[in-house]
């Protein structure tokens, strides 16, 4: 079992920045691919970003490339999502997720554990 706890969400003006953090507890953090998804009411959960187990490989959905940066610190069992140049369309609940294995995936069904989510609201 892996428990994930996100923090760092909030209200920010368009063009601003936020950094999300997700702390994992339980089984060995470095065995898991980590990812971030987001969801707005009435829509499916959407892939945002993922990072390989060692942090060397990162993946982003097109709409956040160049604005968001995912990173991880395996010594602290933590994954981060630095979000810059935020837009109103980034408003969503952001979820941290963990996948046991090597390959990051964009399908939410391929992930094994989820956090409770943190709200990000970007005002125009």
Instruction: List, for residues 98-111, the tens digit of each pLDDT value.
Output: 999 899 999 999 99
Averaged confidence pLDDT in the chain: 96
**Torsion angles phi and psi, residue 23, rounded to 5:** -100, 130
Neighbouring residues of 78: CB distance < 8 A, sequence distance ≥ 6: 21, 22, 23, 24, 72
Rounded to the nearest 5°, which phi and psi values hold at 110?
-90, 0
Q: Is the pLDDT of residue 78 over 80?
A: yes
Task: Taking residues 12-31, report their average pLDDT.
Answer: 95
For the cut 80, the answer to whether the pLDDT of residue 27 exceeds it is no
Q: What is the mean pLDDT of residues 24-32?
A: 90
pLDDT of the residue at 26: 82
Percent of the chain with pLDDT over 90: 93
Burial class (CB in 10 A: 0-12, 13-18, 19+), 105: middle
Share of the chain above pLDDT 70, in %: 100
d(CA 6, CA 23): 7
pLDDT of residue 66: 98
* Strand duo 10-13 + 118-123: pairing: parallel
């Amino acid at each position: 079992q892996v428990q994930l706890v996100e923090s760092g969400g909030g209200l920010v003006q368009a063009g601003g920045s936020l950094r999300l953090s997700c702390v994992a507890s339980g089984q060995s953090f470095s065995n898991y691919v980590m990812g971030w998804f987001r969801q707005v009411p009435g829509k499916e959960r959407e892939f945002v970003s993922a990072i390989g187990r060692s942090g060397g490989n990162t993946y982003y959905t097109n709409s956040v490339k160049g604005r968001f940066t995912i990173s991880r610190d395996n010594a602290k069992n933590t994954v981060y999502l630095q979000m810059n140049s935020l837009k109103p369309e980034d408003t969503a609940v952001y979820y941290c997720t963990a996948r046991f294995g090597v390959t990051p995936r964009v399908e939410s069904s391929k992930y094994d554990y989820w956090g409770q989510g943190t709200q990000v609201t970007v005002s125009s």
